Structure 1
């Protein structure tokens, strides 16, 4: 594939996979915690929290990117503090992963929350009466039942990260080799004469990666369902 794409295009593909993978892995624990809170806890302002979680789906992506730039710019208090610690995000690939993770976060939370709400609380209550601790109940009952939902959320988050454009280009710009993911590279190639062929190749790669992720997730989900059914 590298020979077909060439070094420049392959660089964008590698960066997209890297950004999307990190965005998904880092966001997953927080998505699980958030989904658990929204599905299982009752607290003041719950609907406000739910609205904030889903805000990236409603706002234009450019707005999300601009807000990230305002907060995490090296000239901003928070961004400057992080930059002094060597943890800057603006105009770096880590910022692209952050933007992609934020845009995919609501999809991950929603998928996990629906799985949690489908779990029968009586199963956990029965395990509690038998002396199972909270962590043991989660590990042996809840987690296996919500794994398909977590997998679906991970795939949705990864796919969203792979296709993220607006927030990324606003927050970290379009820097080849540093922040230029596949969507940004496609946009850049379409702005220059004769760049349509390179853009088309990246489009084909994007479709292949997305379909591959969906097929793998479907296979894993079925394997997990068979395992749970046979347990």
Structure 2
């Protein structure tokens, strides 16, 4: 059988142009890397501060996404069609929402005049423009990746094995721990990896909600942006950090592919 189907061959031209549009900018980025000074660029104090903050806040945000996202994915996957559709739409909003708008929304919620911010300020707690704000912004934009990946995996596995476990006397927590989550493990791992990658690459919501203070809220994307505006780290270091984010993205794609069910056959 002809696996290529009957697609008109002329469509290969725009397809190649589209691929070039995606690949050539990345190739241009790699070509600008100063390989001789790459190690020193990455290990400069400013770069290490941005890198350390990104990794630390990204890991915390990923942990929060797991804490909140796994129950939410279970709720969506085991709800009726109408309820699941509404919940899925709400979860998807941060994916289609401009990151800057997300930052403004978080600022209005946690700012001094916000609903939660006003209450927290009475206790002397300020969230905006702190490292905690970075974590919240990263969690806001990354949570949908984990929820949607895990929810899709849960729906694919169905409830048949859960019903068998229940018939054999297993409790709800035992079924969740030994049946539901192991069966959905590929989706969970893929969601966690995508979640972490999205968290460390977050820029817009973080810039508005957390600011750009070196060592406090300046993550790698913010450090890169600052460098190309003539301040902060050097452009050589910014290119090196950009390369690190690119390598991270490629590693994420490889890990996600490795955990797909069809890749394990």
SS at match of 2:169: coil
Aligned-residue CA RMSD (Å): 2.6
Distance across 2 between alignment mates of 1:46 and 1:148: 21
Which residue does the alignment assign to 2:160?
122
Aligned to 1:107: 145
Partner SS for 2:184: helix
Cα distance in 1 between the residues matched to 2:176 and 2:243:
41
* Worse overlay, 59-68 or 79-88: 79-88
Q: How does 1:137-216 map to 2 (within 5 A)?
A: 137-192=175-230, 195-213=234-252, 215=254
Structure 2: which 5+ residue stretches go unaligned?
Answer: 1-37
Offset, 1:75 = 3.3
Among 75, 79, 89, the alignment partner of 1:51 is 89
Contact 2:73/2:147 (8 A) holds in 1: yes
Q: Do the aligned partners of residues 47 and 121 (structure 1) sit closer, same or farther apart at CA in structure 2, a change above 3 Å counting?
A: closer
Which residue of 2 is the match for residue 134 of structure 1? Answer: 172
- Structure 1 unaligned residues grouped into runs of 5+: none
Q: Offset at 1:164?
A: 0.7
Q: Is the 8 A contact 1:16 1:182 kept in 2?
A: yes
Identify if the C-alpha distance between structure 1 residues 87 and 146 changes in structure 2 by more than 3 Å, giving closer, same or farther: farther
Alignment partners' CA distance in 2, 1:160 and 1:112: 16
The range that moved more, 87-96 or 105-114, is: 87-96
Query: Would you say how many aligned residue pairs link Structure 1 and Structure 2?
Result: 225
Larger Rg: 2
Quote the offset at 1:86 in angstroms: 5.4
- Asked whether the 8 Å contact 1:2–1:10 carries over to 2, the reply is no
Deviations 1:171-201 (A, max 9, x none): 1111111110000000000001893212111
Distance 1:214 1:51 in 2: 25
Partner of residue 135, structure 2:
97
Measured at CA, do residues 139 and 34 of structure 1 come closer, stay the same or move farther in structure 2, by a change above 3 Å? same
Return 42-51 or 154-163, whichever deviates more: 42-51
Bigger shift: residues 49-58 or 78-87: 78-87
